[in-house]
Amino acid sequence: AQKVTQAQTEISVVEKEDVTLDCVYETRDTTYYLFWYKQPPSGELVFLIRRNSFDEQNEISGRYSWNFQKSTSSFNFTITASQVVDSAVYFCALSEGEGAQKLVFGQGTRLTINP
Amino acid sequence: ETGVTQSPTHLIKTRGQQVTLRCSSQSGHNTVSWYQQALGQGPQFIFQYYREEENGRGNFPPRFSGLQFPNYSSELNVNALELDDSALYLCASSLPGQLITQYFGPGTRLLVL
């Protein structure tokens, strides 16, 4: 069965600090995809990144970076030099197989960046 | 800008009533999925439509039903509303050639009293 666990319910840091959001997943499939979405107070889920199970290369996009480790079934997200605008709820999600499959989401981590 | 819109933005209903939520995506978005997000929770998959046919369903009762139309719009219908149906309902669509990534609309907040 698919499962995504985000153990950190809430994180609060001061602006310019680095922060890492943890995500651990469970799946029996060898082909799967992992995602991170950002949900600001407006409610819309904003797509940030997708990784497939065959690509463990870490990715950096500006202040954002992602660490995918199959050995520990983890897909962690780091924000460097955090800013107030990064405050939001962040969701990690998993889909199995090819095509537009259902997304299984974690419970989310509420990140608050204080000025 | 995802090109996915939803209406209405907010809705208040009473228990036992029926509700229809709407989603519109850009031309070529063949796949549409609906999710329910209760307060403080992650979104839960309701069902998915591909080329106007249901293509997968989550653990939701039959009173949750949907339609997808040839113009890439979609509806979520919920009959016999219960208090626990109060949630944010999100519609997501995939781009042609990029089926794997789903892009979400702004959602409809439903309150059942």
Distance CA A109, CA A107 (A): 7
Give A-chain residues touching B48 at CB under 8 angstroms. Answer: 100, 102
Distance (Å, whole) CA A110 – CA A88: 6
Q: Which residues of B touch A108 (CB under 8 A)?
A: 41-42
* Partner B contacted by A75 (CB < 8 A): no
B67-81 per-position pLDDT tens digit: 999 888 999 999 999
Q: Tens-digit pLDDT profile for chain A (115 aa)?
A: 789 999 999 999 999 999 999 999 999 988 899 999 999 988 899 999 999 898 888 888 899 999 999 999 999 999 999 999 999 999 999 998 766 578 999 999 999 999 9
- Does the pLDDT of residue B95 top 80, yes or no? no
Instruction: Report how far residue A92's alpha carbon sits from residue A107's, in angstroms, rounded to the nearest whole number.
Output: 8
The rounded distance, in Å, linking the Cα atoms of A41 and A111 is: 11
* pLDDT score for B33: 93
CA-nearest residue of chain B to A103?
B45
Q: How far is CA B11 from the centre of its chain?
A: 14
Radius of gyration of chain B (CA): 13
pLDDT digits over B21-67, tens only? 999 987 777 789 999 999 999 999 999 998 888 988 999 999 999 99
How far from A91 is each of A17, A36, A38, A39, A46, CA to CA, in Å? Answer: 20, 6, 6, 8, 10
CB-nearest to A102 from B56, B101, B104 is B56
pLDDT band at residue B111, thresholds of 50, 70 and 90?
very high
Q: What is the residue type of A84?
A: V
pLDDT at A75: 96
Closest chain A C-alpha to B99 CA, distance in angstroms:
5
With cut-offs at 50, 70 and 90, classify the pLDDT of residue B1. Answer: low
Contacts of A45 in chain B (CB under 8 A): 43, 90, 92, 104
Q: Which residue of B has its CA nearest to A97?
A: B100
Burial class, A43, CB count within 10 angstroms (exposed 0-12 / middle 13-18 / buried 19+)? middle
Asked if A43 lies within 8 A of B103 by C-beta distance, the reply is no
Residues in chain A: 115
Q: What is the model's pLDDT at position A96?
A: 85
What's the pLDDT at A8?
97
Read off the amino acid at residue A9. T
